[in-house]
Amino acid sequence: MTTRRRYTLTQYLIEQRRRFPSASGDFNALLLDVALACKAIARSVAFGELSGMPGSDLVDGSTTVNVQGEEQKRLDVISNIYFTEMTEWGGHLAGMASEEMDEPYQIPKTMQRGKYLLVFDPLDGSSNIDVNVTVGSIFSILRAPQDVIDSGRDVVEADFLQPGTQQMAAGYALYGPTAMMVLTVGNGVAGFTLDPNLGQFMLTHPSMKVPEDTHEFAINASNSRFWEAPVKRYVDECLAGKTGARGKDFNMRWIASMVAEAHRILLRGGVFMYPRDTKDPSKPGRLRLLYEANPVGMIIEQAGGRASTGREPMLTVQPTALHQRIGLVFGSKNEVERIERYHAEPA
């Protein structure tokens, strides 16, 4: 009898490390700690109501609000704890930042500090938890500035303000019908499916590629009155279908979990937009640059797609704040380039 030989995430990471003979293994160890946090979150999500964790109210019936003014779900908070607790002890991190923490997280002085920064959205799409729709976690790994590594000092906001091109790795976990992990360490994109019995992410999608063309788009159309002209033009042309300027019919999807939309686009193409709009002048976009747009942008670009603000490539944007929001367009290359052209054309 033969069994189908599959690689685990650990084996994949060891293979990837062979490209860097001098690498210490810290980086891989950190990624495996992140994977462990994601497995723990997958377990909590899978138990749903039985875990006693969904919903917004904390155990005592109170609610909390994060730095973005969003009400935190209990699983937002628990997922954040899984990320910090499972990665801080390993000695690989200089500090962390998360959607659910106002300030950078300091590795306790009683533990060893390392050379990487971990930035994450512990639970993306958390408005979908109560209705049993796919959610996920998104993460990005940066190298800490050299003086942080040398001195072991506390991290500050400025240490994290690195453009997306500086990311060493980016990934997401998806808690859907099956739990998956999708990862790039700068050498293409690989997808792993969680075998719940083995407790291991198994390599099932060795080389994920975003198709260059598509006839599917994703945008929250309830914001259309706030869209800027280039976005309105693009969507109008999609809606016009075969008889319009595009000469083909389009399909629309909106899950309200960006991570699930990114996954669909990785598998069958498409374009996702949460563009800059005029809804709230204090918020130039809905999604966050450091732990949503940049990691998803790196994954999509490593898979041959494109990520943009509409005006410039996402990964070259110089961040100015930890929780900065930004307009985000990503997906099939030819569509994203078209949207960028519409932004560049004079109104």
Binding residues (CB under 5 A) for Mn ion: these are 70, 99, 121, 123-124
Instruction: Number of helices (H) and strands (E) in the chain: give both, helices first.
Output: 9, 17
Nearest to 45 by CA among 73, 69, 71, 65: 73
Q: State the nearest-atom distance from the C-beta of 265 to ligand AHG, in Å.
A: 12
The binder of 343, among ligand AHG, Mn ion, none, by C-beta within 5 to 8 A per type, is: none
Closer to Mn ion by Cβ: residue 288 or 333: 288
Q: What is the C-alpha to C-alpha distance for residues 129 and 219, in angstroms, rounded to an integer?
A: 20
Choose among Mn ion, ligand AHG, none what residue 220 binds, the Cβ cut-off being 5 to 8 Å by kind: ligand AHG
| Distance between CA atoms of residues 53 and 33, nearest Å | 23
User: How many residues sit in the footprint of ligand AHG (CB under 6 A)?
Assistant: 13
Beta bridge partners of 218: 272
124 annotated to bind ligand: yes
Interface with ligand AHG, residue 328, by CB under 6 A: no
Per-residue contact string for residues 146-185; x = within reach of ligand AHG by CB under 6 A? ----------------------------------------
Strands (E), 144-242: 169-175, 179-184, 190-195, 200-205, 216-218
Q: In the bound complex, which residue of the shown chain has the CB atom lying closest to ligand AHG?
A: 258
Sheet containing 200-205: which strands, arranged edge to edge?
105-106, 93-98, 116-124, 135-143, 169-175, 179-184, 190-195, 200-205
| Residue 121 parent element (H or E) | strand 116-124
216 is in an annotated binding site: no
Q: Say which entry of Mn ion, ligand AHG, none residue 33 contacts (CB below 5 to 8 A, set by partner kind).
A: none
Say if residues 74 and 81 touch (Cβ distance below 8 Å).
no
Q: How far is the CB of 136 from Mn ion (least distance, A)?
A: 8
Calpha distance 29→34 (Å, rounded)? 9
Question: Can you say whether residue 179 is alpha, beta or left, with left for phi > 0 and alpha for psi between -120 and 50 degrees?
Answer: beta
Q: Identify residues 231-270 at the interface with ligand AHG (CB under 6 A).
A: 256-258
Two tokens, residue 309: 């603000």
Q: Which of 10, 29, 36, 70 binds ligand AHG (CB under 6 A)?
A: 70
Interaction partner, residue 257 (Mn ion, ligand AHG, none; CB < 5-8 Å by kind): ligand AHG
Residue with the two structure tokens 């990691």: 295
- If the CB atoms of residues 187 and 220 are measured against ligand AHG, the closer one turns out to be 220
Contacts of 152 (CB under 8 A, 6+ apart): 94, 113
Residue 220 labelled as part of a binding site: yes
Q: Is 57 annotated as a binding residue?
A: no
**What residue type is 123 in one-letter code?**
L
Least distance to ligand AHG from the beta carbon of 126, Å?
4
Contact characters 211-230, ligand AHG, x per CB under 6 A: ---------x----------
Q: Any contact of residue 72 with ligand AHG (CB under 6 A)?
A: no
Residues in the chain: 347
**249 annotated ligand-binding residue:** no
Any known ligand binding at 176?
A: no
Question: Which of 155, 77, 74 is closest to 114 using CA atoms?
Answer: 155
Helix (H, G, I), strand (E, B) or coil at 330: strand
- Is 32 within any annotated ligand binding site? no
| Smallest separation, CB 314 to Mn ion (Å) | 15
Q: Which is nearer to ligand AHG, 89 or 226 (CB)?
A: 226
335 is a contact residue toward ligand AHG (CB under 6 A) = no
Q: Which residues bind ligand AHG (CB under 6 A)?
A: 70, 99, 121, 124-127, 220, 256-258, 274, 286
Provide the annotated binding site for substrate: 124-127, 220
Task: Name the binding residues for Mg(2+).
Answer: 99, 121, 123-124, 292
